[in-house]
Amino acid sequence: MSLNLFNISHDAIIANSIEGKLNAVREISSLWNSKSLTKENSIEVYDIKSPGRPEVIKIVHKTDLPKRNLNHREGIGAFIHALTHIEFEAIHLGLDVIFRFRNMSEDFYSDWINLTEEECTHFELLNGHLKEFGYQYGDFPVHAELWELARLSKNSLLERMAVVPRMAEARGLDVSPSMQNRLRKAGYLKTEKILQKIYEDEIGHVGIGSKWFAALCEEKKQNSFDTYISILHKYGFTELRKPINREARLAAGFTEKELDYFETSLK
Ligand SMILES: [Fe+2]
């Protein structure tokens, strides 16, 4: 019997172990590339309250996270741990798009499977690097805001594209150059190199969000600028801090009009 794309994506979301999750994503990718996955007899879509995470992961509110002062070992450990966690959650975000949004084109699923596989590579790069500092994933508390944002936008692919890749992940493009600068100044050159690789890939990931956001607007005959801005307001994203990274955002499919709006209307 052939495996089903949505069922194995769901299995990967709820897998608790790191190894189980990464293996599941790579299996999805290889089966998809050999056209061995069906879309029949699928598990029904439902609200997944929490993705599978290793037992040691402690979820706290964002305000209770440890400080990330790069001048001492624990600070750089906390910093790399926070990024490692973002990449772990990014795997869930990619898988959830595949699992949840049905009846899309082959091109759509190919994009999201490739993206999710790249998130696995990002996680492995950072998780391996974390060990070089003597820490393990789970040694520091983490927050679950990215998954909560996915849950809030679970009923609309258009909203999901606007708030996850085109808001939360695009924010990563804005802050990455200054983070890399801080790391360089503090002498963490390997960390900086890993961040540069992730930054380059993330431009592509945000670009995938822009591509499908635009395609959905066109299909629904909606003005993409007005739609984007109204979704940002609906979700309360009205206080984007400057600076924004125009160059990276343009490469990731933002329009000049959207970027001008950010520059003039936001803080
Ligand atoms: Fe990533």
Per-domain residue ranges for the chain? 1-152, 156-267
Could you tell me the distance, in angstroms and rounded to a whole number, from the CA of residue 24 to the centre of ligand 1? 17
Query: Are 157 and 102 a contacting pair, CB within 8 Å?
Result: no
Residue 201, pLDDT score: 98
Residue 67, pLDDT above cutoff 90: no
Residue type, 223: N
Q: Among candidates 133, 156, 162, 173, which has minimal Cα distance to 226?
A: 162
- Cα–Cα distance measured from residue 115 to residue 201, given in angstroms and rounded to the nearest whole number: 9
Read off the pLDDT of each residue in 179-205 and give the average, rounded to a whole number: 97
pLDDT for res 203: 98
Does pLDDT of 204 surpass 80? Answer: yes
> Does residue 103 come out as left (phi exceeding 0), alpha (psi in the -120 to 50 range) or beta?
left
Map residue 104 onto helix, strand or coil: coil
- CB within 8 Å of 189: residues ≥ 6 apart: 183
Tell me how far apart the alpha carbons of residues 212 and 27 are, in angstroms, rounded to a whole number: 24
Cα 198 to averaged position of ligand 1 atoms, centre (Å): 6
Q: What is the pLDDT of residue 39?
A: 95
| Residue 214 CA, ligand 1 centroid: distance in Å | 22
pLDDT at 225: 98
How many A from CA of 226 to the centre of ligand 1?
28
Q: How far is the CA of 41 from the centre of ligand 1 (A)?
A: 31
Write the pLDDT tens digit of every residue in 116-161.
999 999 999 999 999 999 999 999 999 999 999 999 999 999 999 9
Dihedral pair phi/psi, residue 59, rounded to 5°: -90, 130
In tens, the pLDDT along 150-183 reads 999 999 999 999 999 999 999 999 999 999 999 9
CA of 87 to the centre of ligand 1 (A): 5
From first CA to last CA, the distance across the chain in angstroms is 55
Residue range 24-41, pLDDT digits in tens: 999 999 999 999 999 998
Bridge partners (DSSP) listed for residue 3? 37
Give the pLDDT of residue 81. 96
Which DSSP category does 166 fall into? I
Q: What is the pLDDT of residue 265?
A: 79
Element housing 4 (H / E): strand 3-4
Share of the chain above pLDDT 90, in %: 89
